[in-house]
Amino acid sequence: MTHVNLDVLLAAAEPGDRQRIRERLGLAEPAADAGPPAVWSAVGWMSSSRMPASAVLWMLECDRPEINEIVFHGPRVDRAVREDILRGLPFGDRASGRLAVPEHLLAAQRPDLRDAGPAEAVGELRRATTMKSGRAAAALVRRGHWDAVDAADRERPLPGYARWALAIRIDCPPALRARLGAGHPSFAHRMRQAGIVAGADEYVREWGPARQVLSVLAAGPWAFPARLAQAVDALRPLVRERLGGNPEAWAVTAQLLPTFAGTVPELVTTAGAIA
């Protein structure tokens, strides 16, 4: 899979250098306009790729029914998000209305989730006294409830267990998440443990190992193209400075990648220095 992972880095290279580098390393051109794999193959990829939880939201932001079906069957998707998928609610900013939902998905067993209103959801959050009850209350929060939850926390801070449970929801609004964790010394560490990352640019700069990060991003053309572009933009200056069009530097990158323990920027910097 090294050649596929290098595609992400090559996308950050100068256009005129890419073909020469591919020829030097014997890399095939990436498939044009490749659609998503079969549902259960994609679900298997989600289970085995060690993708961060936030990457599930990146997939949903595409607002494509075929991607939503993959996410619905995938791991680490809470019941409230599955229910919103079944209702055709958009997660991105491109859809003008509800999304189509495959009939066979609608016929499947619906998640065991109470259809609470925003006032009831806020009430349950305020009554949370354990992590279990906090998670149960957070599961009642639907996409249309976040403004009410935000207002309730501004009026009077929600209990700690509820705040943690809300913050690790993949669809928690970033501004609300930041306020929920403000002042807590271990908040950033807890969010990282939960797989919550602000964006693909932060993911590609700060997470590791590089092989794993690039493997996740390699699915970007079908899974989350806009977020992939965000990651490539973050890499572009460093890739062009340290690797440029030097085939030897790219060859060193390919040699280091399978066992390199650091981040992608550290990989690029190390390969450039060796070459």
My answer on whether 7 and 81 are in the same domain is no
My answer on whether 26 and 82 are in the same domain is no
My answer on whether 99 and 152 are in the same domain is no
* pLDDT over threshold 70, residue 75: yes
* pLDDT over threshold 70, residue 114: no
My answer on whether 89 and 141 are in the same domain is no
What pLDDT sits at residue 2? 58
Residue 184 resides in a domain: yes
Q: Per residue in 177-209, pLDDT tens? A: 999 998 888 999 999 999 999 999 999 999 999
Q: Per residue in 225-254, pLDDT tens? A: 999 999 999 999 999 999 999 999 999 999
* pLDDT over threshold 90, residue 29: no
Cβ-count burial of 154 within 10 angstroms (0-12 exposed, 13-18 middle, 19+ buried)?
exposed
**63, 95, 112 — which closes off a domain?**
112
**Exposed e or buried b for every residue in 223-251, given b needs 16+ CB within 10 A?**
bbeebbebbbebbeebbeebbbebbebbe
My answer on whether 218 and 192 are in the same domain is no
Beta carbons of 231 and 207 less than 8 angstroms apart: no
**196, 227, 246 — which closes off a domain?**
196
Residue 48 resides in a domain: no
- Average pLDDT, stretch 158-167? 96
Distance CA 211, CA 116 (A): 42
Residue 43 resides in a domain: no
My answer on whether 213 and 246 are in the same domain is yes
Query: What are the tokens at 51?
Result: 């993708």
Range of the domain at 23: 2-34+200-274
My answer on whether 123 and 143 are in the same domain is yes
Residue 47 resides in a domain: no
* pLDDT over threshold 60, residue 1: no
Which of 217, 224, 209 shows the shortest CA–CA distance to 257?
209
Cβ-count burial of 269 within 10 angstroms (0-12 exposed, 13-18 middle, 19+ buried)?
middle
- Average pLDDT, stretch 88-100? 89
My answer on whether 99 and 127 are in the same domain is no
**181, 196, 211 — which closes off a domain?**
196
My answer on whether 84 and 62 are in the same domain is yes
Report the domain count for the chain: 3
Distance CA 127, CA 159 (A): 8
Residue 41 resides in a domain: no
Q: How far is CA 205 from CA 7, 11, 230, 235, in A?
A: 17, 16, 11, 8
My answer on whether 94 and 148 are in the same domain is no
Contacts of 199 (CB under 8 A, 6+ apart): 227, 230
What pLDDT sits at residue 184? 86
Per the confidence metrics, is the pTM higher than 0.95?
Answer: no
Residue 218 resides in a domain: yes
Residue 126 resides in a domain: yes
CA angle 167, 229, 15 (to 5 degrees): 160
DSSP classification of residue 145: G
Lowest mean pLDDT among 10-14, 76-80, 114-118, 221-225: 114-118
My answer on whether 192 and 123 are in the same domain is yes
What pLDDT sits at residue 104? 86
My answer on whether 181 and 248 are in the same domain is no
Residue 42 resides in a domain: no
